[in-house]
A and B are shown apart, each in its own frame.
Chain A
């Protein structure tokens, strides 16, 4: 296999890693107003937040690595993608910035209005990227007006076409489902049961949207392998939903995990050998061949990836293992804020 193909596959894997991991983080954030309600809402919200507390940051690094690897292996792809989706990426960046700070700062003060603002940031920072990434990827697979210099010539409205909006809704629903099942897997008590119910209802919508999107895209640019990935993704999703109804959360989570991974695989398979198809003139499409770095750069990057990716997966997996225990509202310590020792209440 050519190195350019290897790197196309690796970048697909990095994006898949990002979506299967940060996908459930987005879902958890979206669930704040859904599961974090009622008399015990504050402790329930903190349960939600702490299911991803130690690991969300590592999940987001998959995005940094995917973007960096695209820059290194396919500079033309990186340049066209990031300048072409300028305003969408701006919105994603704002959302992700607010979300990072909300996760870390929310619990640092014991003040309801402080928490309320950061809760809004968490919901905004989860819904917006979950939708926007679907928008970006659908447009990228479908193709965009790109000129002979590899420069995007459309505007913002070009990107907000019906198919791309369907793509956005699909990723939104898939991540909400993935997050619900993750919450069911990681919590205990009523929140666990409620998360399963949410997953069942969202699951049907997500399945319908995902099937619609992938069928349309497959009919446009599909091939045998992308159809196979699609069918396998649907099977995994349905199996996951069945396990969810039966209360087998580990298997249900594996189902949505594999389904999202296979969806990304289907999308990348449809894209290949293009990386950014041009709808202006097929000859102007960026391909794995004309958008790639030199052989030497790809070879060096291959060695680095070969050596270090397994190590990363191992220690990241180990971190998940350390924090594997389920969390319930009973385990949430009271909210605190540091006080000067002279002001601390003496027991």
Chain B
């Protein structure tokens, strides 16, 4: 394989992997903080147990997200140094600000939360998790602003002297219209993920009835998770619709490739499923909804949606002269964009459906939990569905932008590090893939061990506990 392909595979593997943990971190920090706050308000010890239980699971997940996050920051320079030189003036600032504003908050206050039980006042302790959550939101905002620049470059100019893109308006970068749709869409998808994580695990314990006296606790947790899942799912659909319209406007090729729409059409149908030859030219089975694509993309059932063939011809003419923008084809890998877009929507919808079904089953306080065999499968899949929906959403977003790194400005093939050899990239690709695989096994096994054990009983404060120097630490590694 070429150096370029290896570097792309490395970015894909490390980024998709890292993003398994990101939405869980964002969503679960919200859920844990909510449980702790509910405990403070009503003093129901069940809420404290849930906060501690999901807090432990949160830290297991957070550690791997943190560890793999460093690779994300380093590999722009390691594998994509030409890209770093070209956009560093714009792209570097959000990364630095993310570290300064968000990562310090998250790391410091998570340390206080983990080790602070019994050592800092209760309200302050709960506030620490809210601050961690605020940190995750800030972090998401800045990194998404950087990504939105790649989808729709704004607030810059091309400097012919330095041969790079330079910032002219930072506010425009932060309020990029792609960003304004992507941020709520991404955050709400993360809330779905955290809520589904809580719902699935609580459902599983309700079903197992391993500890009869804890049934009411897990039912409360499951209900809260299900409501959050449905509410955020609704938000994901609305913001996704908004994002789709902006995508049709600023990246028409991505929308065309999501639908495999070959020719420009007014009143274009929305394809739900197509089975065809891989090049997409010969449809065998197709299920379509008339005029829906035009409505989704433009807000008008008879609106015009641009097709792949017309856009390709237009781009080939427009971008042929500059070596940074010249490409063999401007069409993304169609099966990948077409299917990742559908799988994203399908998995997200399935998760929301399980949420609704769970609420129905748990609707009465005394209702007997369903004994049917689908229940444990629903519990397990509802945890995984939103995580993979997130992955496919990003695969669609990034693969659909190809062949560009920065749309209309800079192709992926111009971005690789000129001084790094294919052998070096192959080495790092192999090492990261092997290491990540081993760590995934360890992480999942550890998570399952903690999930199975369930929420632990609260420890009785030991007799005569005061600020004695010989006191045992409330929490220790």
Contact = CB atoms under 8 A, between A and B. Distances in A.
B461 interface: no
Contacts of B120: 322
B216 interface: no
Nearest to B451: A338
Interface in A279-321: 293-294, 296-297, 300-301, 304-305, 308-309, 312, 315-316, 319
Contact of A86 (B76, B91, B420, B472): B420
Contacts of B210: 340-342
Contacts of B472: 331-333
Contacts of A332: 472-473, 476
Interface in B459-477: 469-473, 476-477
A211 interface: no
B108 A316 contact: yes
B419 A153 contact: yes
A71 B211 contact: no
A1 to B, nearest CB: 20
B115 A75 contact: no
Contacts of A246: none
A305 B100 contact: yes
B474 to A, nearest CB: 8
A201 interface: no
A217 to B, nearest CB: 24
Contacts of A86: 78, 417, 420, 424, 428
Given A83-B420, A323-B115, A89 B74 contact: yes
Contacts, number: 266
Given A108-B446, A312-B104, A331-B473, A83 B66 contact: no
A15 interface: no
Contacts of B107: 57-58, 60-61
Contact of B418 (A49, A149, A340): A149
Interface string B225-246: 0000000000000000000000
A101 interface: yes
Contacts of B418: 149, 151
Contacts of B473: 50, 327, 331-333
Name which of A46, A87, A105, A332 has the most chain B CB atoms within 10 A of its CB. Answer: A105
Given A72-B96, A84-B419, A106-B477, A316 B470 contact: no
Contact of B435 (A70, A71, A94): A94
Interface residues of B, number: 84
B68 to A, nearest CB: 7
Nearest to A50: B476
B428 A90 contact: yes
B456 A338 contact: yes
Contacts of B428: 86-87, 90
B259 to A, nearest CB: 36
B336 interface: no
Nearest to A152: B419
A341 B431 contact: no
Nearest to B64: A101
Interface in A88-106: 89-90, 93-94, 96-98, 100-101, 103-106
A333 B476 contact: yes
Interface string A129-153: 0000000000000000000011111
Contact of A308 (B63, B69, B70, B101): B101
Contacts of A149: 418
A338 B69 CA distance: 28
Contacts of A50: 473, 476-477
A330 interface: yes
A204 interface: no
Residue of B78, B168, B418 most packed against chain A (CB within 10 A): B78
Interface stretch (B29-37, B79-87, B302-310, B342-350): B79-87
Nearest to B450: A338
A305 B96 CA distance: 10
B353 interface: no
Interface in A29-65: 46, 49-50, 53-55, 57-58, 60-61, 63-65
Given A64-B73, A87-B428, 17 more contacts: A58-B108, A65-B103, A68-B99, A75-B87, A76-B88, A78-B88, A83-B81, A105-B60, A107-B476, A150-B85, A151-B419, A152-B419, A297-B90, A300-B93, A312-B100, A331-B471, A341-B456
22 contacts: A50-B477, A60-B70, A65-B100, A67-B73, A67-B74, A71-B73, A71-B84, A71-B92, A72-B96, A73-B96, A78-B84, A78-B88, A84-B419, A87-B424, A87-B428, A153-B419, A300-B167, A300-B170, A309-B100, A323-B119, A331-B472, A341-B454
